[in-house]
Every structure is written in structure tokens, then in C-alpha cells.
Structure 1
Amino acid sequence: MSAFAAATLYFGLFGFLMLTLKMNVGRVRAKEKVMFGDGANEAMQRAIRVQGNAVEDVPIVLIGIAGLAALAAPVVLIHALGGSFFVARILHAIGLGGTSGSSFGRMVGTLVTLIVKLVTAGACVWFALT
């Protein structure tokens, strides 16, 4: 598998994840009968935040992964970043979606997300300068 094929795999997986999170907001909106905003409804607020957190983090990491592919970074690096990030975002969505308080999924998902963002940024700088 080429670096671009690996990067494209994660674009597709994250596309499905983002679609799932969007559909969940619609599902909660219909269930809770909240047609606009969050209606001061905790379930609606959590669903919106889960999607919002992904919108904040996913694009920059995917751009970094695409940049690494363009700079011919090792495929194993792209899979390590993309795979761990994908698992982290699922854990975070489950953790935050299930409770407004602290949870294992939210904690681990946030920690791994931060690590992946840091490594992706560092790798982008490294591969751009070498």
C-alpha cells in the first residue's frame, strides 16, 4: 500500500465516522424533539459536543497525514497515526456521548488525540525540513 493509499483510507474512515456523528445528532434531535440549537437538553448538548470535538480535531490531523503522504513518509507512520487517531476518536465519542462527566473513553480518547496531533505536527516539520 502506498502512502497516498494509506492516507486515503483514513480520509474514508473518518468520512464515515463524521457521517455517523452527524446522524447521531439528528437521531437525538428527533428523539428529544429539539428542532433548533440544543434546547437546553443535556443529551442534545452531548451529541452536538461529540460532533463538534471531532470537527475541531479531525481536519488538522487528516491534513497532516495527507502532507506526510505527499512527502513520502513511511506507510507504517501513516497507519500508526491514522489508526490510533481513529480508535481515539471512537473512544472519545463513546465516552463523551455516554456521560457529561469523566469517563475512560473520553480520557483516553483525548490523551491519544493530543499525542497523535503532536506527533503528526512534529513529523510534518521533520519531513518538510529533511
Structure 2
Amino acid sequence: MSIEQALAFHTEAFRAVALWTGLSLLFILWLSMRISAGRRKLKVSVGDGGHPALTASTRAFGNAIEYVPLALVALAVVAVFYSAAIVHAVGGAFFIGRVLHAWGMGQEKQPAVGRMLGMILTYLTFIGSAGLLIFAAVF
């Protein structure tokens, strides 16, 4: 592979990382804004005031903050070794998983299907990323 080909390969892969990172940032901002709107509506300054809907919004945000940063770091390292198509597959599955999880958290009946599917997709993308990275490091 020539220098030009390698540069194009990595540029495309990192553009894929940029897409999923940008979407994740907007998603986290949206989750945060849902909490702020809920607090204003319910006149709660700090915490959830014992309101289940606000508790669910807060946990959806907290859960995203717990998973998204590490997933994006993994995605960036995956882009060093693999194509943009792989980055899009992992990033897309992870993003869909996070959206499903947040939507499921807002459902009245728990555990909600979206929440469970979201966590399954999140776990699968973590396992897949780990496998890809270990493979790249060993082979």
C-alpha cells in the first residue's frame, strides 16, 4: 500500500469515527436537555425530586455517559487498523443501541424491550471492538 493509499484509507476510517462521535455528542446533549426540561417542568432544582420520569431521564443520561466515552476511544483505535466500513458497522450498532436504551428507559413498563435491546447492542459492540483490537494487537 502506498503512502497515498494508506492516508486515504485512514482518512476515510477517521471520518467515520468523526460521524459517530458527532452524533454521540448531539445525543448526549439531547439527553441532558431532557433532564433540564424535566426539572423545569417539575420545579426540581437538584436531583429527581422523587419523580420516576425524571429519575429515568437522569439514568438514561448517566448510562450514556458511562458507556459512550470508552466506546468512542475504542472506535478511534479500531479506525487505526480497520476500514471505514468496520468503523461504521461498530459505530452504527453502538449508536442505535444507545438510542434504543434511552428510549427504553423512558417507557413506563420496565424492563422495556428497547432498554434490553440497547444493552445487548452495547455489549456486542464492546465485545466486537475488544476482539478486533486484540486481534490487531496479536496478529
TM-score (norm 1): 0.93
1:1-130 alignment to 2 at 5 Å? 2-69=12-79, 71-99=80-108, 101-130=110-139
- The secondary structure found in structure 1 opposite 2:54 is helix
**CA offsets per residue over residues 53-110 of structure 1, 9 Å max, x none?**
10111111110000111x2312111010001111111111111022361111011111
Structure 1: tracts of 5 or more residues without a match: none
Identity of aligned residues (%): 36
Q: Tell me the CA shift for residue 129 of structure 1.
A: 2.7
- The secondary structure found in structure 2 opposite 1:35 is coil
Q: Tell me the CA shift for residue 45 of structure 1.
A: 0.7
Higher CA-based Rg: 2
Q: Tell me the CA shift for residue 31 of structure 1.
A: 1.1
TM-score (norm 2): 0.88
Structure 2: tracts of 5 or more residues without a match: 1-10
Q: Does the aligned pair in 2 maintain the 1:3–1:72 contact within 8 Å?
A: no
Matched residue pairs, number? 129
**CA offsets per residue over residues 13-51 of structure 1, 9 Å max, x none?**
101100100000101111111111121221111110000
Q: In structure 2, how many angstroms separate the alpha carbons of the residues matched to 1:82 and 1:117?
A: 10
Q: Tell me the CA shift for residue 128 of structure 1.
A: 2.5
Question: Which stretches of structure 1, 4 residues or more, deviate above 3 A after TM superposition?
Answer: none
